[in-house]
Structure formats: C-alpha cells, structure tokens
DNA sequence: ATCGATGCAAAGTGTTTGCAAGCCG
DNA sequence: CGGCTTGCAAACACTTTGCATCGAT
C-alpha cells in the first residue's frame, strides 16, 4: 500500500513536471492526504486540517490552490453533493466514468458504487438527444442500510449529522 | 396559460393555508416568476431581479426565504449543478422523480429529459446495496447538438458563456 | 535573477439571520 | 392584541485574490 502510494505520487510528479508545475512539499502533502483517505469525500477544510497535522505551516489558500490545480489537471475530481461545499476525491484511473454516490439523508454517510450503471442509459441519451456525453453525475438520496436497521429496532436514526440536500 | 397559472397559484395558496402559511404578495410574485420561467433553472438572484421588475420593494432575503419555504413544502425543487449556486424549478406534479439534466459545457445550456431512465438502475441499487432510494440526481455534462454542429462547420462553439445557466 | 509557489489577510460570493417595523386575522 | 412576514443590514461559510516573500532553478 505504501509502495503503491509512492508509485502514484511519482506518477503525479511526472504529470506535473510535464506541464511545468512543481510537486512542492505542500502539494505532495495534500495529495498524500487525499490518497490516504481515498474512500472519503473530503472538503477543502477537511484536507487542510489533515495536512496541517503533518505540515503545520501550510495555509488554507495553498490547499485550495492545490486542489484547484489537481482538479484542472484531472488528477483529482471536484464533486458537489448540493450542500454548498466542494469535495475532492481521486479520479479512478481506469473506470473514471462509472462511479456514483449513495447519500444517506439520515446520517449523512456517502457510499460509492463502482459499477457502470449507465451504459445503456448513455447510449439512449446520446442518440435520442444528439448530446455528446463527456461525463455524468449520478447521486441517490435515501436511507442507508444502517439507518434502516436502526429505525426498525427503535425508531431512532443512527446519527443526526448532515443536511446534504438538493 | 394564464388561466393555467391562476389554477396553480390557487392550488398553492391552498397548500400553504393548509399548513398555516400565507400566500403573501411577495410570495405570490416569486411563484409567478418561477411559473413564467418554468423552462429555466433560475438562481435566487435571477428570481430576485425578475420579481423586482414587478414588485420593486421586495428584498432579496424574502426571495431566499420564499424559495426555501416552497422547497421545504416540496412545491419547488432546489437543484444544484455543481457550480456553487442553487437553482430552483417547479416540481413536476406527476413524474416528480424522473427528470434529469443535460448541461452543455460549451454554451452552458441546460436541457431536461423527462423520461424515466433509472427504473432498472434503482431496482438494482436498492437490492444490491440495501439502500432505500428516496430521490436521485442525474446530470450529464457534454456537448449539445447545436455546439456539435457549430464545431463541425467552423470549429467554433456557438457561444462562450462559461456559466451554467438557462 | 527569475519565476512560480506560498502564507497571510483581505476581499468576494452566495446565503442566512437578527431585529424592529408592518400586516392581518 | 399575537403571530407570521418583511426589509434592511450585518453575519456567515466557503472560496478566491493581492501582495510581499520565499525557494528552486
């Protein structure tokens, strides 16, 4: 895992150099946080706080600038669940296109679906609407398994955490 | 159309009264703007400017409060295309659930798809992930027919608008 | 010496809130 | 009267920007 991470960092260093950007310590620290939390969907603030644990002198603006840059270079993905905050995650190298989110309106948890659910749907949209699809966003809002179970047992939701709404 | 609009306004007035809210002149003006621009996806600012044409003394905060209220009552829908601004549109009375957006990254146009594309997908998500789906958001980002045609003819996009708006 | 990258603070956006005044049953 | 509504301005949360400084060519 650690080795895998070094690999990815090196690859990104190259990508940056090829476009005459530097992989500065701050940028590297930011990327490492993102890699270490690949399962989550961190906000800029989240990233900032985590980076600061290891590199206390980094500024929030730098984190924003780094995230923006990485996003422009398609190294990471900027996503938005409609709660007014941007979140960042690593782009799947292969299946970049086929990755959706399940947001629990009860506890705020976000889970991913990695299957390609939209192959057929995209085909029909392309041909029926003459729309050339480059990307898509699919999000389901609902109740996750945990909260359903909790509700069955005692009628109380697991946690009251988020208000990700549309 | 005008008559249709009165009908809808009256219906909403009732809905509000049933929940002990009033359909004040400001709220009514806001709703009328939304109804008159049902095809668009207006931001709060858009709505504010349009309302002000007819009711110059309305405040932006009132527009926000009205939109929030109508959204809470599921009379309108608050949507978010990931550009950091909330947009509002009337909720389809019947097919509330099956309505997606095609956003052109070239000219910024937003078109709607009213077909239900996700019936099968939802079934498989529900059963595979034990996730109780309440709602979903599906957005395709790509190039609309117009921009494709323009590009074929002279390599130049139709408009450079950069912003996601109607 | 150059030119990008950084940290800080200030400015910017879009949205929400506190509050005194207004309206209406 | 008593509650919901309103307009205004101030507060807010998140993000971007200006600028002097730093650091690696």
Per-residue confidence band for B166, with pLDDT thresholds at 50, 70 and 90: very low
Query: Is residue A5 over pLDDT 60?
Result: yes
d(CA B59, CA A71): 37
The percentage of residues in chain A with a pLDDT greater than 90, rounded to a whole number, is: 49
Higher pLDDT, B157 or B104: B104
**Do residues B5 and B32 lie in contact, with contact meaning Cβ atoms separated by under 8 Å?**
yes
Higher pLDDT, A99 or A33: A33
The percentage of residues in chain B with a pLDDT greater than 70, rounded to a whole number, is: 87
pLDDT at A6: 92
**Do residues B12 and B31 lie in contact, with contact meaning Cβ atoms separated by under 8 Å?**
yes
Query: Is residue B127 over pLDDT 50?
Result: yes
Q: What is the pLDDT of residues A62-87, one digit of tens each?
A: 999 999 999 999 899 898 887 889 99
pLDDT at B162: 38
**Strands A86-90 and A110-113, sheet pairing:** unpaired
Nearest CA in chain A to B133: A142
Domains of chain B: 3-90 (1.10.10.10), 100-154 (3.30.1490.190)
Mean pLDDT throughout B99-104? 87
The closest alpha carbon to A69, from A125, A27, A121, A10, belongs to A27
**Do residues B80 and A80 lie in contact, with contact meaning Cβ atoms separated by under 8 Å?**
yes
The percentage of residues in chain A with a pLDDT greater than 70, rounded to a whole number, is: 87
Average pLDDT, chain A: 85
Dihedral sign from CA coordinates of A99, B84, B118, A162: positive
Residues near A83 by beta carbon (within 8 Å), at least 6 away in sequence: A162, A163, A164, A165
Q: Which helix (H) or strand (E) holds B86?
A: strand B86-90
B chain contacts of residue A144, beta-carbon cutoff 8 Å = 130-131
Provide the shortest C-alpha distance from residue A78 to chain B (in Å): 9
Per-residue confidence band for B154, with pLDDT thresholds at 50, 70 and 90: low
The DSSP string of A36-67 is HTTTS-EEHHHHHHHHHHH-TT--HHHHHHHH
d(CA A89, CA A38): 6
Query: Is residue A157 over pLDDT 60?
Result: no
Per-residue confidence band for A163, with pLDDT thresholds at 50, 70 and 90: very low
Average pLDDT, chain B: 85
Name the pTM for this structure. 0.78
Higher pLDDT, A98 or A38: A38
| Least confidently predicted of A34-38, A144-148, A155-159, B64-68 | A155-159
d(CA A88, CA A91): 9
Q: What is the pLDDT of residues B43-73, one digit of tens each?
A: 999 999 999 999 999 999 999 999 999 999 9
pLDDT at B152: 76
d(CA A125, CA B117): 9
B32 CA, D3 C1': separation in Å?
Answer: 26
Query: Is residue A11 over pLDDT 50?
Result: yes
B65 touches strand C (CB under 7 A): yes
Cβ atoms within 10 Å, residue A161: 12
The answer, for A145 touching chain B at a CB cutoff of 8 Å, is yes
The protein footprint on chain C, as nucleotides within 7 A of a CB, is 4-10, 14-18
Contact (CB<8Å) B142/A121: no
Query: Is residue B161 over pLDDT 60?
Result: no
pLDDT at A1: 57
Which residues in A7-154 belong to E strands, given as ranges? 42-43, 76-80, 86-90, 100-104, 110-113, 132-143
Contact (CB<8Å) B125/A102: yes
Which residue has 């500065």 as its token pair? Answer: A24
Per-residue confidence band for A26, with pLDDT thresholds at 50, 70 and 90: very high
A chain contacts of residue B157, beta-carbon cutoff 8 Å = none
**Do residues A129 and A90 lie in contact, with contact meaning Cβ atoms separated by under 8 Å?**
no
CA A121 distance to own-chain centroid: 23
Per-residue confidence band for A166, with pLDDT thresholds at 50, 70 and 90: very low
Mean pLDDT throughout A119-139? 89
């Amino acid at each position: 895992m650690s080795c895998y991470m070094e690999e990815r960092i090196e690859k990104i260093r190259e990508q940056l150099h090829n476009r005459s950007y530097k992989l500065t310590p701050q940028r590297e620290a930011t990327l490492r946080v993102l890699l270490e939390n690949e399962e989550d969907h961190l906000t800029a603030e989240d990233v900032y706080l985590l980076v600061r644990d290891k590199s206390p002198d980094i500024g929030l603006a730098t984190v924003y600038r780094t995230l923006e840059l990485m996003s422009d270079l398609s190294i990471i993905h900027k996503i938005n669940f409609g709660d007014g905050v941007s979140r960042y995650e690593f782009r799947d190298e292969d299946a970049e296109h086929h990755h959706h989110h399940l947001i629990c309106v009860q506890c705020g948890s976000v889970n991913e679906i990695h299957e390609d659910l939209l192959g057929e749907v995209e085909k029909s949209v392309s041909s029926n609407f003459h729309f050339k699809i480059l990307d898509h966003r699919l999000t389901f809002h609902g109740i996750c398994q945990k909260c359903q179970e909790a509700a069955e047992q005692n009628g109380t939701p697991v946690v009251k955490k988020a208000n990700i709404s549309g």
